[in-house]
Structures are given as C-alpha cells and as structure tokens.
C-alpha cells in the first residue's frame, strides 16, 4: 500500500455568500464639496451592506471618504479604486476646486433571491393543499387563494409575479 505524501496538503474551499451590487453609476462630485451631498447608508431594503468599492475616475484630484459627522477616514487617490468590507454610513468629500467623477458599488447579501440554488437560504415550500384547492396548489406556503400562483401552477415570486419555473418541489 502506498504511503501518503506528507507534502500533500488539502485546502478547504470557502466561498462567500451570493451578493447583489447596487451601483451608483458615474456621479459628479461637485467642487469644494465638504458637506453631506453624497451620502451612502449602510443598509438597503433591510439588508446590511457587505462591502463597498469607490472608484476615483479623475486624473489629478483625490477624493475623501468620511463619517457622516465629517471625519475623514480614507483617501482615494486619482484613478484608483478602494474596496472595503464595511457596513457603516459614509459620505464622499471633494475639497478640490474642480468637479471629480467617481462611481460607487455597494454589495449586499442576495439572500432574498428566490432563484438561488443555495440550500442555506431555502426555497419557499409549496402548499400541501390538494390540487385545485388554494389556487391550484401553486400558492406560497402560508398564503391562501391565488396569491403566489400562476395559471400553470408554477410558483411565482410574491413581489414581481415572475415564474420560478415548473413549480417542482426542491
């Protein structure tokens, strides 16, 4: 029987949770902006931000990240991106005499996505009602009538009505 190689190392793979990005698009931070004009809060739709990326698109001028009280805590140099795992509220300041273009990407957990295959977040269970009762058996668990049901019996998302597919139980 061959002996195990003591140099073989098994490294477990750890992946992060699925995230969604809330992008600001290109924003123009006005010259001499040292007030709370560009404020980004640490939560969105009752979800806490996981991380943020701020990109300074200007060729010559730095911009600053600050608390809502105005205390500067980071400098983003020209043509650089700054990424930080952070859920705090912050604002972007531009003390320069010219406008500066920037963009912000905030990452939030994608735990509300009903299309996920991650068993940790689960999929809504189908109603245990007999076919024809409770909206054709396509109602979201805990609902009644036709809420969450589609004519084909496929499970639909409660907010958009978009079909999740064949309605098979997973």
Mean pLDDT by 10 residues, the chain (170 residues): 67 74 92 84 86 95 93 95 92 94 92 52 48 47 44 43 42
Identify the burial level of 52 via C-beta atoms within 10 angstroms of its C-beta, where 0-12 means exposed, 13-18 middle and 19 or more buried. buried
**Could you read off the pLDDT of 18-63 as tens digits, one per residue?**
888 999 999 999 999 887 778 898 888 788 899 999 999 999 999 9
Task: Check: pTM over 0.95? Answer yes or no.
Answer: no
How confident is the model at residue 11, as a pLDDT? 64
Closest CA relative to residue 148, chosen from 124, 118, 129: 124
How confident is the model at residue 162, as a pLDDT? 44
CA angle 80, 85, 91 (to 5 degrees): 65
Which residues are within 8 A (CB) of 139 and not within 5 positions of it... i.e. 6 or more apart? 126, 127, 129, 145, 146, 147, 148, 149
Contact 148, 135 (CB under 8 A): yes
How confident is the model at residue 129, as a pLDDT? 52
Strands (E), the chain: 19-29, 33-40, 43-44, 47-48, 51-56, 63-66, 72-76, 80-84, 90-94, 100-109
Closest CA relative to residue 54, chosen from 95, 97, 84, 30: 84
C-alpha–C-alpha distance, residues 106 and 48, integer Å? 10
How confident is the model at residue 56, as a pLDDT? 97
How confident is the model at residue 45, as a pLDDT? 78
| Sheet of 90-94, strands arranged across | 33-40, 90-94, 63-66, 72-76
Closest CA relative to residue 28, chosen from 37, 36, 20: 37
CB atoms within 10 A of CB 42: 15
């Amino acid at each position: 029987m061959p002996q195990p190689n003591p140099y073989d190392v098994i490294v477990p793979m750890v992946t992060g949770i699925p995230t969604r990005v809330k992008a600001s698009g290109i924003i123009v931070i006005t010259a001499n902006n040292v007030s709370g004009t560009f404020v980004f809060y640490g939560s969105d739709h009752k979800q806490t931000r996981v991380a943020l990326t701020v990109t300074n698109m200007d060729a010559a001028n730095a911009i600053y990240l600050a608390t809502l009280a105005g205390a500067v805590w980071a400098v983003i140099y020209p043509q650089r991106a700054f990424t930080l795992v952070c859920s705090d509220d912050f604002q972007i300041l531009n003390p320069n005499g010219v406008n500066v273009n920037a963009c912000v990407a905030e990452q939030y957990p994608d735990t509300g996505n009903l299309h996920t295959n991650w068993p940790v977040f689960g999929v809504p269970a189908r109603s245990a009602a007999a076919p024809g009762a409770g909206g054709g058996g396509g109602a979201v668990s805990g609902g009644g009538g036709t809420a969450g049901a589609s004519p084909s019996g496929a499970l639909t998302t409660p907010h958009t009505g978009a079909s999740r597919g064949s309605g098979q139980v997973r």
